[in-house]
Amino acid sequence: NLFQICTNIQKKGWKIVRDRQGRIGPYAYLRDQWVSFDDIGMIRHKSEYIKAMGLGGGMIWALDLDDFRNECGCEEYPLLRTINRVLRDYKVADPKCVLGKGQHKPAVPSKPSTVKPTQKPPGWDVEGTSPEAPQPALEACNGNDFLPNTKQPISRLGFYTLQSCPSGLYWNKGHCDWPENTPCHPDSTTTEAPSGSADGGSSVPTVSTSIIDIPSSTQHYPSIEGEYKVVCYFTNWAWYRQGEGKYLPSDIDGSLCTHINYGFAVLDPNSLTIKPHDSWADIDNGKSKGIKVLIAIGGWNDSLGDKYSRLVNNPGARAKFISNVIEFIEQWGFDGLDLDWEYPKCWQVEQQVDCHKGPDSDKQGFASLVQELSQAFKPKGLLLSSAVSPSKAVIDAGYDVPALNRYFDWIAIMTYDFHGHWDKITGHVAPLYYYPEDIYDYFNANFSINYWIEKGADPKKLVMGMPLYGQSFTLADSSNYALNDPSYGPGEAGEFTRAGGFLAFYEICERVKSKSWTVKRDPLGRLGPYAHMGSQWVSYDDIADIRRKSQLVKTLGLGGGMIWALDLDDFRNRCGCGKHPLLKTLNHELRGTATDITMENCT
């Protein structure tokens, strides 16, 4: 039981070994005796996990095994009280105690040991701490990248939450630790491992602590209310639009995005290094609002040709690219990188993708680049994400899904552009579910997301893409305007976006409001509406469709939603539904934010 374990530690010199990241409880040993157990810190961690998972509560076995008589000098029922503090807002203050703290201080190990999961832990050479060790000067903290404290923000699924250490412990580079092990804590005896051995002449047994470094787990906490990502793409060409179509970084509403992907930087075809496509002078406007801002590289236009394939298939080029990217990110103050190669193995051919065009090695090469980027980014606290294809053919040919899942912080599935003017028949830009008129049963968001999960993606790492624009068509016969009716090609360009086959949501809603376009909707909500007038036809998502997609994000336990793009919503309220009606709907559904958007739809 607990009081027997703590008695062995406090009075009989048993040594303690702890997991650096707190994923398992400690164990203690002396000669041929060994015991694993949960201490206050682990009980608190499990109780926090109960809250994160939304479970019903906790159960203990058993009342008589806790330190119910306070034999160890902490408090009566220290483990059970810890559960109550976390789960039931127990009002009794934390005790001023740590297992093993007293007349004997735990030692700092000379070097953390790294144990592979297939190996048994080797023996540790644990050094003792001399009671007479000098206190460090406060200046010794200069240069450290953290401050010792009982609370510390930590990143979970890309969000920072406040981690509280149990009473008597302090934050120490990724985990709660003894005060004596925390560099620069006022009670610390040394900032370096002290000299001397555990049996260096003292007749009093020394309590010692070792740290083992267990390889990272791939398990993640579920998305819960307030933790969903809302990833927003900002396009640097939007500020060149005329009049009310111009969108500047200063137009970003910082409350509506958790992350912004700033698109795009490009890959230099000769040096295979990242380079800016335009000026980044205004990027601080986004960061000053407290948003995480990533630089996105690639996109449809920059993915043309073989340069990304040459990059990923050359280990030397990958290493050079990674070094260059880190320098670029640090120079411009970004928080990470978003990879938008469209697509490994499946290269572009006349606005379509051909999965026979690229070499098979693209799949492994891309996975290797992602792994190497992740390994270089994590020590620097940089984020790594990607926008990926929703196409079954591309997923099969181009993505090593388990590897990408392991190394990306999140994966945004571009669940849009399922249909467009290239089909020569009308179709919806982003169906949510299969509908009988569709030619393929896998051209919809529901199939794509579930297929990524089936292939090995953690749902909580997946972010559903949602279009704030429509795909437009010119009908072959204006009297035939249903789904799958023939079209000549792209619809007429919008007055602001000026690209054939494409209309921003604010251009669509204005056509419906002011030009009397006719709107058709699926009564079952399997796909968004389409609107038409004369020879012009456009499919898009409205408020109700963004709401339905947000609800699917929650139903499937995904990590959040992604929008393309900020400048395409009705950000100036041209149609009278309020500013950013689609993005505000997404935030209201996923993050519980208040909204002034009361309409069911804006068209």
> What contacts 229, CB < 8 A, 6 or more positions away?
157, 158, 159, 258, 259, 410, 463, 559, 560, 561, 562
Residue linked to tokens 């990217």: 325
Closest by Cα among 35, 46, 15, 39 to 25: 39
Active site residue 350: no
Cβ count near 370 (within 10 Å): 22
C-alpha dihedral sign at 360, 361, 363, 364: positive
How large is the C-alpha radius of gyration of the chain?
Answer: 29
Cα separation of 317 and 268, whole Å?
Answer: 12
For helices 78-87 and 40-53, what crossing angle results, to 10°? 30
Cα separation of 459 and 449, whole Å?
Answer: 8
Closest by Cα among 81, 80, 102, 101 to 93: 81
Give the bridge partners for 388, in sequence order: 413
Cα separation of 466 and 64, whole Å?
Answer: 55
Check if the beta carbon of residue 126 is closer than 8 Å to that of residue 112.
no
Residue type (1 letter), 520: K
Q: How far apart are the first and last CA of the chain?
A: 67
Cα separation of 141 and 368, whole Å?
Answer: 37
Half-sphere exposure of 586 (CA within 13 A, CB side): 32
Name the strand (E) or helix (H) holding 395. helix 392-398
Residue type (1 letter), 215: P
Number of H helices, E strands in the chain: 14, 26
Check if the beta carbon of residue 428 is closer than 8 Å to that of residue 377.
no
* H-assigned helices in 54-91: 78-87
Check if the beta carbon of residue 415 is closer than 8 Å to that of residue 390.
yes
Question: What burial class does residue 297 get, using C-beta atoms within 10 Å of its C-beta: 0-12 exposed, 13-18 middle, 19+ buried?
Answer: buried
Cα separation of 418 and 291, whole Å?
Answer: 30
Among candidate residues 342, 507, 510, 589, the one labeled active-site is: 342
CA dist list (Å): 28 to 116, 178, 207: 20, 15, 10
> What contacts 417, CB < 8 A, 6 or more positions away?
429, 430, 467, 471
Distance of CA 325 to the CA centre of its chain: 19
C-alpha dihedral sign at 358, 360, 363, 365: negative
Question: What burial class does residue 463 get, using C-beta atoms within 10 Å of its C-beta: 0-12 exposed, 13-18 middle, 19+ buried?
Answer: buried
> What is the set of active-site residues?
342
